[in-house]
């Protein structure tokens, strides 16, 4: 059983996340979000939608959201990928649900990384921010804004 769990961790968090640099509490939280994702699926009557791919691995995340009174009334993510990308997208939906569109569009990536609570390598940050980038693309499009190259780069780092 212990071997199976360690194998799972190695496959899920290759190279970058080990029990040495990951607080066990955060590891459990991430695994819980991965196994029991909140807000997975597609929002009904969505007015916001975007999809993007992590070019390093080919994993895709789609985000859809319904707007009510200028706020995100419902937001869901879909797609498949590693535990970090799935847990992060799921946490993100909880962080922004109920927020004003403009407020969510201004969200900083650090807020999400803080919620994840673990140290990540550059490639894993890309996993963690995939859903965040997709959400921003969707919100910007809804607001009629275009993401600058600088903003896009910032989400890749």
Contact 132, 115 (CB under 8 A): no
Provide the β-strand partners of residue 52. 61
Contact 111, 94 (CB under 8 A): no
* Least distance to ligand FES, CB of residue 61, Å: 8
User: Total binding residues for ligand FES by CB under 6 A?
Assistant: 9
Burial class (CB in 10 A: 0-12, 13-18, 19+), 1: exposed
Kindly tell me which residue out of 13, 34, 43, 85 binds ligand FES, with binding defined by CB under 6 A. 85
Question: Closest CB to ligand FES among 85 and 90?
Answer: 85
Question: Closest CB to ligand FES among 48 and 127?
Answer: 127
Question: Closest CB to ligand FES among 55 and 69?
Answer: 55
* Least distance to ligand FES, CB of residue 77, Å: 12
Q: Which residue do the tokens 């201004």 mark?
A: 106
Site string for ligand FES, 18-57 (x = CB under 6 A): ------------------------------------x--x
Instruction: Compute the distance between CA of residue 19 and CA of residue 9 in angstroms, rounded to an integer.
Output: 9
Kindly tell me which residue out of 92, 127, 134, 139 binds ligand FES, with binding defined by CB under 6 A. 127
* Least distance to ligand FES, CB of residue 80, Å: 9
The contacts of residue 81 (CB under 8 Å, 6+ apart) are: 54, 57, 59, 60, 61, 127, 130
Instruction: Compute the distance between CA of residue 151 and CA of residue 136 in angstroms, rounded to an integer.
Output: 10
Residues that bind ligand FES (CB under 6 A): 54, 57, 59, 81-82, 84-85, 127, 130
């Amino acid at each position: 059983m212990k071997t199976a769990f360690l194998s799972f961790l190695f496959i899920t968090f290759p190279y970058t996340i080990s029990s040495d640099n990951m607080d066990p509490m955060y590891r459990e939280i991430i695994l819980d979000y991965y196994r029991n994702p909140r807000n997975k699926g597609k929002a009904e009557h969505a007015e916001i939608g975007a999809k993007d791919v992590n070019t390093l691995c080919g994993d895709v995340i789609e985000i859809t959201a319904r707007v009510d009174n200028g706020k995100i009334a419902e937001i869901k993510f879909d797609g498949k990928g590693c535990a970090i990308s799935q847990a992060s997208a799921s946490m993100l939906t909880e962080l922004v649900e109920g927020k004003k569109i403009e407020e969510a569009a201004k969200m900083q990536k650090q807020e999400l990384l803080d919620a994840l609570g673990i140290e990540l390598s550059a490639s894993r940050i890309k996993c963690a921010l995939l859903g965040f980038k997709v959400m921003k693309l969707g919100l910007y499009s809804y607001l009629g804004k275009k993401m600058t190259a600088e903003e896009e780069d910032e989400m890749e780092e």
